[in-house]
Amino acid sequence: MEGQIQQVEHLKETLQKEVDTFHRFIDLERKLNEEILEKNFQHIPPTVKSLKTIAKELIALEEKRETIYRKLKEVWGVKEGESFYDFCFRFTGETREELLRWHRELKHAVVMVEGITSGIDVYCASTLSTMGKYMDALVPGWKHRVYSPKGVTTEPAQPLLVNQEL
């Protein structure tokens, strides 16, 4: 029983670390969003690099949390169809409340990341579309055509960017 209690405490700690790491990720995503909106292109690569580093941390924490939870499910006899909430209701009082609170905060953090990421995606797609229409009007024959070395029209691997330094 002592080992099970330690595992539950370890699960709570891992959930807390994951939530904290998601909040760091959210802060960086907001920074990236501001840099894109302000067209501060020099600061974008370091921010993206930091986001990748934190994403790796999140993946490791997620795997760790899943491993702990899987072991606890086996020990506590959780059936295949039962949810995390069903698992939490096997405990009483403070332990259950802490597990549920950290799980809610984790879900909230994930929704925040999805929202910010979606906003960045929509803004970038809209800007690229607008720039494409502008280029079509400015140079009608170009029409986003990129040619391979063999002269065949291909889709560009990356969006075409305007050099801000000119």
Tally the domains of the chain. 1
Dihedral of alpha carbons 118, 131, 36, 21, sign: positive
Give the domain range for residue 67: 2-117
pTM of this prediction? 0.79
Residue 164 lies in a domain: no
**Residue 155 pLDDT exceeds 80:** no
Place of tokens 């099970």: 4
Residue 156 lies in a domain: no
Residue 100 lies in a domain: yes
Where residue 145 falls among pLDDT bands split at 50, 70, 90?
low
Mean per-residue pLDDT of the chain: 87
- 93-138 and 2-37 helices, crossing angle to 10°: 20
Residue 131 lies in a domain: no
Q: Output the CA–CA distances (angstroms, integers) from residue 141 to 13, 130, 136, 165, in the order listed.
A: 60, 17, 7, 26
- The better pLDDT of the pair 151, 165 is held by 151
Range with the lowest mean pLDDT among 43-47, 66-70, 105-109, 150-154? 150-154
Residue 144 lies in a domain: no
| 91-124 per-position pLDDT tens digit | 888 999 999 999 999 999 999 999 999 999 999 9
**Residue 6 pLDDT exceeds 70:** yes
Residue 150 lies in a domain: no
Residue 110 lies in a domain: yes
Residue 126 lies in a domain: no
